[in-house]
Amino acid sequence: MKEISRGLTAVLLVFTMIFSFTGCGEINKAEKTVNGLFASLKQADLEKISEYMNVADLMNAGDEEDSFISNPETFMQSMFKQLDYKIVSSEKIDNSTVEVTVDITNIDMKPVFTDFFARAIQYAFSSSLSSAQQPTEEETSQKMEEMFIESVTKPNLATVTNTAVITVVKGEDKVWNIESDDDFLNALLGGMYDAIQTIQLKTALAALNK
Predicted confidence (pLDDT) at residue 148 exceeds the cutoff of 80: yes
Answer whether 0.75 is exceeded by the pTM.
Answer: yes
Consecutive H or E run containing 91: strand 84-94
Measure CA 79 to chain center.
Answer: 10
pLDDT single digits (tens) 103-118 = 999 999 999 989 998 9
Q: What residues contact 33, with CB distance under 8 A and at least 6 apart? A: 52, 168, 176, 177, 178
Residue 134 identity (one-letter amino acid): Q
Which pLDDT does position 11 carry in this prediction? 45
Taking alpha carbons only, the member of 101, 93, 72, 113 closest to residue 184 is 101
3-state DSSP call for residue 165? strand
pLDDT single digits (tens) 57-89 = 877 644 444 556 777 888 889 999 999 999 999
CB 51 within 8 A of CB 36: yes
Q: State the alpha helices, DSSP H only, in 44-102.
A: 46-49, 72-79
Predicted confidence (pLDDT) at residue 20 exceeds the cutoff of 50: no
Predicted confidence (pLDDT) at residue 163 exceeds the cutoff of 60: yes
Determine what percent of the chain is predicted with pLDDT higher than 70: 79
DSSP code for 65: G
Apex CA 85: angle with CA 81 and CA 87, to 5°? 165
Share the mean pLDDT of the chain.
83
pLDDT single digits (tens) 196-207 = 888 776 666 555
C-beta neighbour count of 133 within 10 angstroms: 7
pLDDT single digits (tens) 172-197 = 889 999 999 999 999 999 999 888 88
Which pLDDT does position 85 carry in this prediction? 98
Which pLDDT does position 202 carry in this prediction? 65
Residue 196 identity (one-letter amino acid): I
C-alpha–C-alpha distance, residues 116 and 69, integer Å? 14
